[in-house]
Amino acid sequence: MPSGEIPPIVIQRLPLYLRALSGLESEGEITSQELGRRVGISSAQIRKDLSYFGGFGKQGAGYEVGRLREKLRQILKVDREWEVVVVGVGALGHAIARYAGFNNRGFRVVAAFDKDPRVIGERVGEVVVQDVAHMVNVIKRLKAKVAIVAVPTSQAQEVADALVRAGVRAILNYAPTNLNVPDGVRVRHIDPVAGLQSMTYYLDSE
Amino acid sequence: MPSGEIPPIVIQRLPLYLRALSGLESEGEITSQELGRRVGISSAQIRKDLSYFGGFGKQGAGYEVGRLREKLRQILKVDREWEVVVVGVGALGHAIARYAGFNNRGFRVVAAFDKDPRVIGERVGEVVVQDVAHMVNVIKRLKAKVAIVAVPTSQAQEVADALVRAGVRAILNYAPTNLNVPDGVRVRHIDPVAGLQSMTYYLDSE
DNA sequence: TAGATTGTTAATCGATTAACAATC
DNA sequence: TAGATTGTTAATCGATTAACAATC
């Protein structure tokens, strides 16, 4: 299985393929055309993307659903469970920590941190909120590599710095701001308002 | 001001520029290089993106922060307040309906819908949750063009169909599934797990 | 004027699509 | 075998970057 030379944009599409396959029966086959229709991507694109990892289709038939799903899980390394920590347990952090959608997709929330004494000690989902002052040590002990940031914008960068110091290598950032991190650490941004703003551009002005 | 022929990827970057400018004093100037540093994009890219809409920089000096911010708000049509409806008021929908981050960025939640009788009637943020059975009529009356979908995957497509019938033209979808909509309707997806999965690819196995 | 940065063109780079031989 | 779809190459398309004349 290759790595490194795969275009990042291909890697970002694989979760969409996996997501579409997860809603299907494991038995039977699916063609690149049908999968493309389901994810809104051309069949040529899908065949090309998958071919980076070797051929797991059958000419004339398509791809075995169960087999392709397992392959994608292996490639994305979600054939295991990654321990995730959540930083910031306001309304949004609450929803994240309790979000059932992580299960079965490779992730489990194992710790949550906040600095507000009114939240510390509270049980949220499977975990009890801890003082952010202990965050770096706790994460080091857990050896968690994945974190979700849901603190106010003003604190996002310092939280990110602390996470990096603690050994975190993948950050999902809900704060509407860019984060500077060293090489080897990855960041993805979730900004619903940016998504909305890129759509209003196309709307008629009333 | 042109439109139509602007690459969609340019439109998707404008909110990031606007976001970065919003954290700055209105007075004074910013160079494409400094703005690029803040959003993590090359200065050439920023100058090229902005030039699609005419030159609002000053050679030798940079861009006036306040002026550029206003221009971007006009281009993205967020120099007004769009009325947004939220469909699905579970844990996630709750957080969305109460999210303060919409204010000042062009959006205001004006209605929320759910089918669960235990949630209908409950006050969330500024609104009272209504029965989804009334959704299409209420949206038509409000003339809302923007909606946020936070229902379970199994109901996402039928909710989207109803939103389109009600006249909604921009959908922000939190359900981890693709949505099929007719031309003229736009969809953006928020899938935190897909974001996480595209990062674990790069992590060492254990 | 001298210095600096924009706006824009041309060159480069990368991603998508089309097409078809290979093959199940 | 006949029919269908993959895997892959080449062509096309689009996006980013480099470079510099224009100009504040």
Q: What is the pLDDT of residues A5-50, one digit of tens each?
A: 899 999 999 999 999 999 898 889 999 999 999 999 999 999 999 9
CA distances to A30, B73, B123, B125 from B81, rounded to whole Å, are 44, 11, 22, 17
Closest nt by CA–C1' to A61: D5
CA distances to A64, A90, A111 from A119, rounded to whole Å, are 47, 8, 13
For residue B177, list chain A residues with Cβ-Cβ distance below 8 A: 19-20, 23
Phi, psi (rounded to 5 degrees) for B24: -115, 155
pLDDT band at A205 (very low <50, low <70, confident <90, very high): confident
Query: Rounded to an integer, what distance in angstroms lies between the CA atom of residue B66 and that of residue B48?
Result: 20
How wide is the angle at C-alpha A147 spanned by C-alphas A142 and A151, nearest 5°? 125
B176 → closest Cβ in A14, A101, A106: A101
| pLDDT of res. B4 | 58
Tokens 């659903």 correspond to what residue?
A: A65
Closest nt by CA–C1' to A55: D7
Where does CATH 1.10.10.10 sit in chain B? 8-75
Sign of the CA dihedral running A149, A151, A153, A157: negative
Nucleotides of D under 7 A from a protein CB: 2-9, 14-19, 22-24
CB within 8 A of B113, min separation 6: which ones?
Answer: B85, B86, B87, B88, B89, B129, B130, B131, B132, B134, B135, B138
Using the Cβ of B157 and the Cβ atoms of chain A, whether some distance falls under 8 Å is answered with no
Which CATH code of 2.30.110.10, 1.10.10.10, 2.130.10.10, 1.50.10.10 fits the domain covering B8-75? 1.10.10.10
Terminal CA-to-CA distance of chain A, rounded, Å?
52
Tokens 């196995």 correspond to what residue?
A: B205
Tokens 């001001």 correspond to what residue?
A: B1
User: For strand B146-149 and strand B82-87, is the pairing parallel, antiparallel, or unpaired?
Assistant: parallel
| pLDDT of res. B5 | 87
Give the helix ranges, DSSP H, for A52-184. 65-75, 91-98, 135-142, 153-166
pLDDT tens, chain B, 206 aa long: 455 589 999 999 999 999 999 989 888 999 999 999 999 999 999 999 999 998 889 988 999 999 999 999 999 999 999 999 999 999 999 999 999 889 889 999 999 999 999 999 999 999 999 999 999 999 999 999 999 999 999 999 999 999 999 999 999 999 999 999 999 999 999 999 999 999 999 999 76
pLDDT band at A67 (very low <50, low <70, confident <90, very high): very high
Percent of chain A residues past pLDDT 90, beyond the cut: 89
Give the tokens for residue B34.
């400094």
Query: Rounded to an integer, what distance in angstroms lies between the CA atom of residue B80 and that of residue B74?
Result: 9
For residue A191, list chain B residues with Cβ-Cβ distance below 8 A: 15, 19
User: Considering only CA atoms, which residue is closest to the C1' of nucleotide C14?
Assistant: A7
| pLDDT of res. B62 | 94
For residue A196, list chain B residues with Cβ-Cβ distance below 8 A: 82, 84, 106-107, 146, 170, 172, 188
B48 touches strand C (CB under 7 A): yes
Where does CATH 3.40.50.720 sit in chain A? 82-194
Q: For residues A176-182, give the mean pLDDT.
A: 96
Which CATH code of 3.90.1150.10, 3.40.50.720, 3.20.20.80, 3.20.20.370 fits the domain covering B82-194? 3.40.50.720
CA distances to B31, B33, B58, B64, B153 from B61, rounded to whole Å, are 7, 11, 5, 9, 50
Q: In the predicted model, what is the mean pLDDT of chain A?
A: 95
Q: For residues A63-69, give the mean pLDDT.
A: 97
| pLDDT of res. B56 | 87
Measured between CA atoms, how close is B67 to chain A, in angstroms?
18
Contact A92, A174 (CB under 8 A): yes
| pLDDT of res. B3 | 53
Give the up-direction half-sphere exposure of residue B54: CA atoms within 13 A in the CB hemisphere: 8
Query: Rounded to an integer, what distance in angstroms lies between the CA atom of residue B17 and that of residue B41?
Result: 10
Contact B78, B106 (CB under 8 A): yes
CA distances to A40, A50, A52, B107, B187 from A33, rounded to whole Å, are 10, 13, 18, 38, 21
User: For strand B29-30 and strand B57-58, is the pairing parallel, antiparallel, or unpaired?
Assistant: unpaired
| pLDDT of res. A103 | 87
| pLDDT of res. A4 | 59
Query: Rounded to an integer, what distance in angstroms lies between the CA atom of residue B49 and that of residue B70?
Result: 16
Query: What 3-state DSSP class applies to B69?
Result: helix
| pLDDT of res. A102 | 92
